[in-house]
Structure 1
Amino acid sequence: MSDDFPYFPTYGEGLAHYAATTPDQIALRYGDRVTDYKTYDRHATQIANGLASMGLSKGDRVAYFGKNSDCSVELALGVARAGMVFIPIIWRLAPKEVEFILNDSGAGVLFVEPEFADQLPFNGNKVLMDDSFESWRDAQSDAAITTEVDAQDPLLQLYTSGTTGLPKGVVLSHHNGTHLRPLMKEHDIYWYCPDQGDSLIFAMPYGHIAGAGTAISGVLGGLEVIIHREFDPALTIADVQKHRVKWLFIVPAALGIMLAHPDAAKADFSSVKGLTYGASPIPLDLLKEGVERLKCDFAQLYGLTETFGTVISLSPDDHKPENIVGREQVMKSAGQPIPGTEVRILDEELNPLPAGVTGEVAIRGDSVMLGYWNRPEENAKTLIGDGWFRTGDAGMLDEEGYLYIQDRIKDMIITGGENVYPAQVESALYGHPDIADIAVIGIPDPKWGEAVKAVVVAKPGSDLSEEDVIAYAKKEIAGFKCPKSVDFIEALPRNPSGKILRRELRAPYWEGQEREVS
């Protein structure tokens, strides 16, 4: 790799590099509080020593439950420097879901924001993320860490909902994330590797790879990461102008919300060089509005937790209006593989399929996860040898190598950038005494891309209502997973083996849509 685009085997080494070369540069900005690289580096070392003083050692799991903050980002780098594994948990999850993750991961310590502390049953070490955290951190030694951390050591364990209803811990290594920046620089994929000193906003939920990846990426490129507790359109607009932000990552639904905000009408977006989006394709009308008002490059990113995020990208050139004319179909694609990534379309026997034929999307490259935590059967099913990972998405490659996602083999619903698996919602609702049978599907939604719908067979004689079903769901699972609407039918369509025919249930709602992914 070029000296201009250095490769850091671990995130801790990246942080140390910029602490030594640009110690006074702003690394983190959170409200009125700024942290330079020198301080960031010292805090990470103190946190690593503090974790060791708790009796934790290399490979142990450290969980965090809360919203985004500068302290939580420092915590991630402290865990990384200690050779431990960071588990940021989506704060919107229900207590039962969080309890499962804590038990499954065997976390040795939980760092939690005070507003959530009483909700979580955790018998181990618990540290509140308030002033007491800063006092704890600052009381620790800043002596250099002697633990050896290697590129292939695990860094993150992010939980993604499983098709069986139980979340799976995706284990990602340092190298899964660190190898990308120099490779992207080498190939001028500038929209995925900002220049040193560039600023970007981190507002995605921490428990997602888009959130965790953005939060820690600054130390690989000497970036200024502006941290928002959660997405706030007014704050985003204000900070873009105040801090002359160059890069935004946002889901299409959030972009629409931001552009519709009253403050956007007179906002100065001239500092923004590029906007990347993911989780769902962008409607052409929204793209045209975004390009016209932001006057910056747009790029789509496609990836999974299991691939440390982006492995496919639809480039800024593909988004330019003059390049869309006559090839509008490309805007319906996810894009082309980024350098270092290979894509195949597989049939049911896992044989490669030719261009133009739909099958299961498989990915190979250095971004592919180490595996699922304590899930040997899932690993055997998805990591199929020679570096290939089965995504579970159905797609097609065209002759130019553009990937078109057709449907989700695993039935996942993406609503406002959040992943929802029908089996998990169905499992939660089966406990309702008046529900005899249930299926959950995603239907088109102009704001969120997809909305969760429950199709329910009520028990004879019950007076079950839509409100009853939704209220029950809210007690059992996170709000974003709850049905937004409920239909009642006499019987669910099933095949001879008893499997629910979800496509048949979805068909009336997706009629007229070009694909069953909004």
Structure 2
Amino acid sequence: MEAVVPSAAGTPAIRCAGHERDYPAFLDRAARIATGLREAGVEPGDRIAVVMRNEPAHLEITAAAALLGVSAVPVNWHFRQHELSHVLSDSGSKVVFVHTDLLAGVRAVLPEGVRIVEAAVPAGVAAACGFEAPAPTGDHPLLDPWLAGHPPLERTAGEHPPTVIYSSGTTGRPKGVLREPVAQDRLDEAVQRFLEYFAVAPGGRTLIPAPLYHASPSQHAVLALAAGLDITLMPRFDAEEFLRLIARHRIEQVQVVPTMFVRLLRLPKDVRERYDLSSLTSVVHAAAPCPPHVKHAMIDWLGPVLREYYGGSETGAVTWCDSAEWLAHPGTVGRATGTCAVAVLGPDGTPLPAGATGDIYLKPGDDWPRFTYLGDPDRRAAMEAPGLPGYVTIGDIGQLDADGYLYLSDRRHDMVISGGVNIYPAEIEGCLLALDGVCDAAVFGIPDEEFGETLAAHLQTEPGVVLSAEEVRAHVAARLAGYKVPRAVVFEERLPRDESGKLFKRQLRDPYWAGHDGAI
């Protein structure tokens, strides 16, 4: 993290919910945490876990790990006990940093020999998340006095192991993506690419509204720190608070997911117009397909500041497009940049022509660190493209156009095969979100005696809106082919999503398939 330097043009800081650190204080605390870890027996190449909500201390611990040559493992604090147990054991973490209110869940599954450092929940973070900050238990070292008792680390590691990100476990047991350490010169190059693609200047102001346990916000935060950006973290996403923070701190760059766009657009027009967003120069989105009507609405509102990329924890960003490119190629997630490449392959592994739908394979840039899955080399090997060294799939289906722009259809495991016809739920979900009164949608396959699978749609409507299943089906039938009309329509009070907007579709789908062997 030697590349972290405050901007000469101002005094960048890291803040969250009323708590703020300038860079000298941040770096001093990170260096003291690194010393504490070393004295606890943590050595270069080891891993530590972080079970904490967004706040500056989360980033300090991540920076401390990099100084020591250790990988931080940000853990989804929504994980259930069996998921949490798996991550703590599978990662081999030697120390776990945990917020006080999450301590009981960690202690219940803590592997033998793993040490805990307890972190008090800042009052502002607790308030933003809707609970009262509990008092520390006193059973474990408390972060602030613990780090204050150690001198700053003097000799730092020459290489920086990236964070180890675990998947959300929506399709099975969470898997950890372990990437090779990055030398300082490569980190410097990554910072320059970040500044270029995210369209932000050194010392600029960024807002991170998504949980740091996800790959994109975690990587965003690490590079923003290395670039010395002024960083505002949100403990949880709230649409109006998001606008308020942009206006208050004159935010220039944000990274979001499409679900956040939907929630922002649901705000009344007078609320949206209440805040001055003119400081925004770059709104980056990724992580899920964005329905075209939603993206059009965001560009109409904010102007041509939207930028989109596509990739995964394993590959980094492979494709990019700005607003002008997207408007010229509606629905695209961009085309490969630099030394990255994309191939769309058929069932026999041969490349498909432009316009044909198949499995997407990505070739990361030459400087992207190689990766494996912790404890699962076979899964890593299964990702490789036959006959295309260096290309891997992250499970998506799509097509390339004649200009090399990529379009996503859906996740391979979400695709529905009904009567021998491939159906991509993402397209239907986008159609449903265009229906007045619908604010969230999940479409998936359910058992059907005649066709093998048919479609179910679970919907969340705006408060006070009442729709019938017949209205929903008619809306889809008027816009898409008949075989894409959901047979089952269910209205939910709320769809199961985490704070970053990731949909846990399996929770909705599994009950339909209970007792159907091999169907899931």
Over 3 Å counting, the alpha-carbon distance change for 1:96 and 1:299 in structure 2 is same
Paired residues of 2:262 and 2:439 also in contact (CA < 8 A):
no
Select 1:138's aligned residue among 148, 152, 155: 148
Paired residues of 2:97 and 2:116 also in contact (CA < 8 A):
yes
Percent of matched pairs sharing the same residue? 24
What SS is found at the alignment partner of 1:270? coil
Residue 344 of structure 2 corresponds to 345
Paired residues of 1:395 and 1:403 also in contact (CA < 8 A):
yes
| 1:309-335 CA-partner distances (Å, limit 9, x unpaired) | x2212212124xxxx3xx5xx222211
Letter in 2 for 1:239: L
Over 3 Å counting, the alpha-carbon distance change for 1:485 and 1:145 in structure 2 is same
Q: Pairwise mapping of residues 154-173 of structure 1 onto structure 2 (< 5 A)?
A: 154-161=161-168, 165-173=172-180
Verify: 1:399 aligned to 2:402, yes or no: yes
Tell me how far apart the structure 1 counterparts of residues 179 and 441 of structure 2 sit (CA, whole Å).
Answer: 28
Tell me how far apart the structure 1 counterparts of residues 288 and 98 of structure 2 sit (CA, whole Å).
Answer: 31
Measured after TM superposition, the shift of residue 40 of structure 1 is: 2.0
Tell me how far apart the structure 1 counterparts of residues 402 and 190 of structure 2 sit (CA, whole Å).
Answer: 26
Over 3 Å counting, the alpha-carbon distance change for 1:39 and 1:483 in structure 2 is same
- 5+ residue gaps, structure 2, are 122-141, 417-424, 449-488
Verify: 1:316 aligned to 2:323, yes or no: yes
Residue 515 of structure 1 corresponds to none
Tell me how far apart the structure 2 counterparts of residues 266 and 163 of structure 1 sit (CA, whole Å).
Answer: 38
Measured after TM superposition, the shift of residue 74 of structure 1 is: 0.8
Residue 507 of structure 2 corresponds to 483
Residue 13 of structure 1 corresponds to 2
| 1:131-155 CA-partner distances (Å, limit 9, x unpaired) | 8212212221114124x332xx632
Q: Pairwise mapping of residues 16-31 of structure 1 onto structure 2 (< 5 A)?
A: 18=5, 22=8, 25-31=11-17
Letter in 1 for 2:208: F
Measured after TM superposition, the shift of residue 43 of structure 1 is: 1.8
Measured after TM superposition, the shift of residue 246 of structure 1 is: 0.7
Residue 108 of structure 1 corresponds to 94
Tell me how far apart the structure 2 counterparts of residues 456 and 482 of structure 1 sit (CA, whole Å).
Answer: 14
Paired residues of 1:157 and 1:171 also in contact (CA < 8 A):
yes
Tell me how far apart the structure 1 counterparts of residues 163 and 94 of structure 2 sit (CA, whole Å).
Answer: 15
Tell me how far apart the structure 2 counterparts of residues 136 and 218 of structure 1 sit (CA, whole Å).
Answer: 27
Residue 314 of structure 2 corresponds to 306
Paired residues of 1:249 and 1:276 also in contact (CA < 8 A):
yes
Letter in 2 for 1:130: A
Measured after TM superposition, the shift of residue 391 of structure 1 is: 2.4
Tell me how far apart the structure 1 counterparts of residues 415 and 96 of structure 2 sit (CA, whole Å).
Answer: 29
Select 1:128's aligned residue among 106, 115, 118: 118
Over 3 Å counting, the alpha-carbon distance change for 1:456 and 1:353 in structure 2 is closer
Paired residues of 1:206 and 1:212 also in contact (CA < 8 A):
yes
Residue 39 of structure 1 corresponds to 25
Tell me how far apart the structure 1 counterparts of residues 18 and 332 of structure 2 sit (CA, whole Å).
Answer: 40
Tell me how far apart the structure 1 counterparts of residues 319 and 332 of structure 2 sit (CA, whole Å).
Answer: 10
Q: Pairwise mapping of residues 103-502 of structure 1 onto structure 2 (< 5 A)?
A: 103-120=89-106, 121-123=109-111, 124-130=114-120, 132-146=142-156, 148-150=157-159, 154-161=161-168, 165-175=172-182, 179-183=189-193, 190-262=196-268, 263-308=271-316, 310-319=317-326, 324=327, 327=328, 330-364=329-363, 365=365, 366-367=367-368, 369-383=370-384, 386-411=389-414, 444=429, 446=433, 450-451=441-442, 455=446, 480=504, 483-484=507-508, 500=519
Tell me how far apart the structure 2 counterparts of residues 258 and 368 of structure 1 sit (CA, whole Å).
Answer: 35
Tell me how far apart the structure 2 counterparts of residues 315 and 130 of structure 1 sit (CA, whole Å).
Answer: 41
Paired residues of 1:368 and 1:389 also in contact (CA < 8 A):
no
Measured after TM superposition, the shift of residue 255 of structure 1 is: 1.7
Paired residues of 1:45 and 1:145 also in contact (CA < 8 A):
no
Over 3 Å counting, the alpha-carbon distance change for 1:490 and 1:240 in structure 2 is closer
| 1:123-181 CA-partner distances (Å, limit 9, x unpaired) | 421111118212212221114124x332xx63211112568722211013454876433
Paired residues of 2:199 and 2:281 also in contact (CA < 8 A):
no
Letter in 2 for 1:242: R
Verify: 1:73 aligned to 2:59, yes or no: yes
Paired residues of 1:23 and 1:37 also in contact (CA < 8 A):
no
Q: TM-score, normalised by structure 1?
A: 0.73
Tell me how far apart the structure 2 counterparts of residues 200 and 392 of structure 1 sit (CA, whole Å).
Answer: 31
Over 3 Å counting, the alpha-carbon distance change for 1:488 and 1:239 in structure 2 is closer
Measured after TM superposition, the shift of residue 382 of structure 1 is: 1.6
Tell me how far apart the structure 2 counterparts of residues 205 and 157 of structure 1 sit (CA, whole Å).
Answer: 15
What SS is found at the alignment partner of 1:306? coil
Measured after TM superposition, the shift of residue 486 of structure 1 is: 8.3
What SS is found at the alignment partner of 2:93? coil
Tell me how far apart the structure 1 counterparts of residues 308 and 37 of structure 2 sit (CA, whole Å).
Answer: 38
Paired residues of 1:49 and 1:145 also in contact (CA < 8 A):
no
What SS is found at the alignment partner of 2:330? helix
Tell me how far apart the structure 2 counterparts of residues 181 and 242 of structure 1 sit (CA, whole Å).
Answer: 26
Measured after TM superposition, the shift of residue 260 of structure 1 is: 2.6
Letter in 2 for 1:159: Y
Measured after TM superposition, the shift of residue 296 of structure 1 is: 4.8
Paired residues of 1:69 and 1:227 also in contact (CA < 8 A):
yes
What SS is found at the alignment partner of 1:363? strand
Paired residues of 2:253 and 2:280 also in contact (CA < 8 A):
yes
Letter in 2 for 1:154: P
Measured after TM superposition, the shift of residue 25 of structure 1 is: 2.5
Letter in 2 for 1:332: G
Over 3 Å counting, the alpha-carbon distance change for 1:163 and 1:238 in structure 2 is closer
| 1:204-253 CA-partner distances (Å, limit 9, x unpaired) | 12111112112212123221110111112222111111111111211222
- Calculate the aligned-residue CA RMSD, in Å: 3.5
Over 3 Å counting, the alpha-carbon distance change for 1:448 and 1:191 in structure 2 is farther
Over 3 Å counting, the alpha-carbon distance change for 1:380 and 1:318 in structure 2 is same
| 1:280-319 CA-partner distances (Å, limit 9, x unpaired) | 33333333332233235112221111123x2212212124
Residue 96 of structure 1 corresponds to 82
Measured after TM superposition, the shift of residue 194 of structure 1 is: 1.3
Tell me how far apart the structure 2 counterparts of residues 350 and 115 of structure 1 sit (CA, whole Å).
Answer: 49
Over 3 Å counting, the alpha-carbon distance change for 1:375 and 1:213 in structure 2 is same
Tell me how far apart the structure 2 counterparts of residues 26 and 383 of structure 1 sit (CA, whole Å).
Answer: 42
Measured after TM superposition, the shift of residue 265 of structure 1 is: 3.2
What SS is found at the alignment partner of 2:2? helix
Over 3 Å counting, the alpha-carbon distance change for 1:368 and 1:406 in structure 2 is farther
Residue 125 of structure 2 corresponds to none
Moved more, 478-487 or 165-174: 478-487
| 1:417-445 CA-partner distances (Å, limit 9, x unpaired) | xxxxxxxxxxxxxxxxxxxxxxxx88726
Measured after TM superposition, the shift of residue 54 of structure 1 is: 0.6
Across the two proteins, how many residue pairs are aligned to each other?
426
Tell me how far apart the structure 2 counterparts of residues 295 and 240 of structure 1 sit (CA, whole Å).
Answer: 15
Over 3 Å counting, the alpha-carbon distance change for 1:209 and 1:489 in structure 2 is closer
Tell me how far apart the structure 2 counterparts of residues 448 and 118 of structure 1 sit (CA, whole Å).
Answer: 35
Tell me how far apart the structure 1 counterparts of residues 277 and 403 of structure 2 sit (CA, whole Å).
Answer: 34
